[in-house]
Structure 1
């Protein structure tokens, strides 16, 4: 496997264990860092397909590092942390993470999540070169090839997983999906899915595309079921 993976954790023993585990699965291009500073320097000089990131680092909070990494790359970021509270998960995803797994973890689950993130990353990259690269719905425009979101003609920054989620919804307008169905399609496995992950990403998307995120008209809740993307009409305010 040719994927390059960056592992960031200040526990040397854990780094060795995870690196050994992933190498046994065929991932040979693995780089490690025990500090946020080194991780940032590596991300500035090398390209990666996946970053596995601890929250508690000696020189910087992992959430802060995630924000900085997001300015350099859109690749999946998987948090691995001993902080298991819901608030920590919400913060991790809110700062740009794509998934969150807590310590101690089942090694097989970590491998499965890494594979799922990489699989979805590659599928999305391949889809970006497909025939239909531009999705346009009124005030929204998604350029899949350039991973670019425009709202009212203005480019809006959109991390990879949010963009992938929005693209999936745009490609299936007026269809209702449960949170687990969306997790399965965008993150790659519903069996380990956390509905909060989807909820947080939907909330962040609404802040980017809705006229009033507190009263969404584009990505709407279908009570007791899930979410539906209602395409805004051309030249029509979705709040009208």
Structure 2
């Protein structure tokens, strides 16, 4: 039996919300409606396979809802908004939106984009689970082949050394690494005790992961020794 995908529709206009939900139900999806940003965040405690999100919402804005979703979930998000400003589109795409549709919209196009994004997400999940060169630690995904790092589905731009440090830690999550361990593994050079290089790189790595939406700082300082992942 085919499992039905569950979609949260966040739209404050009653007519548009019902229009989208009726279309989704006719296509075999399970839907739930939210009419404000606050209501959406309450409902997101449940499991959904996708969120359709308006930006101009009463109370908490759509942008803030998007930010909060990306802190906890990697599910596809499609914006459907009357905002046509290019800067808004670019901003939301950088925040982790999978697709952006402007109002007024064509129902067949919306349906096709929903199907396409759900299919792509399913394929990505299957590939991540079967690829031996992909390491996952909590909401962090590290791809050794492409040297890419994602927090949920948000790509994190790291320097070569930052990537190598993170790769070392996530592949040895229970091990405590001294600064000399890390330096000699990543730089392949002898570590000098007074060198502050590791501290700077770890600090930058932490900040980038936190900015991308990790739930907390997973890189822990072991005083007098070095660093390890928070298990």
Following superposition of structure 1 onto structure 2, how do residues 51-66 of structure 1 map, counting pairs within 5 Å? Answer: 51-66=51-66
Contact 2:24 2:111 survives alignment (8 Å):
yes
- How big is the shift at 1:80? 0.5
Q: Paired residue for 1:36?
A: 37
Q: Paired residue for 2:158?
A: 209
Q: Paired residue for 1:22?
A: 24
Q: 1:159 aligns with which of 152, 162, 168?
A: 152
Answer with 49-58 or 17-26: which moved more: 17-26
TM-score calculated relative to the size of structure 2: 0.62
Gaps of 5+ in 1: 136-141, 163-204, 213-233
- How big is the shift at 1:23? 1.3
CA deviations over 1:170-207 (Å, ceiling 9, x no partner): xxxxxxxxxxxxxxxxxxxxxxxxxxxxxxxxxxx4x6
CA deviations over 1:43-100 (Å, ceiling 9, x no partner): 12x1011000000001121111100111221101111000011011012112221111
Contact 1:6 1:48 survives alignment (8 Å):
yes
Q: Partners of 2:136 and 2:72 in 1: how far apart?
A: 19
**Paired residue total:** 160
Q: Paired residue for 1:231?
A: none
- How big is the shift at 1:147? 5.7
| Secondary structure in 2 matching 1:129 | helix
Contact 2:10 2:52 survives alignment (8 Å):
yes
Gaps of 5+ in 2: 144-148, 162-184, 189-231
Q: Which of these two proteins has the greater Rg computed from alpha carbons? A: 2
Following superposition of structure 1 onto structure 2, how do residues 190-209 of structure 1 map, counting pairs within 5 Å? Answer: 205=155, 208-209=157-158
Following superposition of structure 1 onto structure 2, how do residues 152-191 of structure 1 map, counting pairs within 5 Å? Answer: 158-160=151-153, 162=154
Q: Paired residue for 2:105?
A: 105
Following superposition of structure 1 onto structure 2, how do residues 212-223 of structure 1 map, counting pairs within 5 Å? Answer: none
| Secondary structure in 2 matching 1:110 | helix
TM-score calculated relative to the size of structure 1: 0.60
Following superposition of structure 1 onto structure 2, how do residues 64-103 of structure 1 map, counting pairs within 5 Å? Answer: 64-103=64-103
Superposition RMSD on alpha carbons, in Å? 2.8
Q: Paired residue for 1:194?
A: none
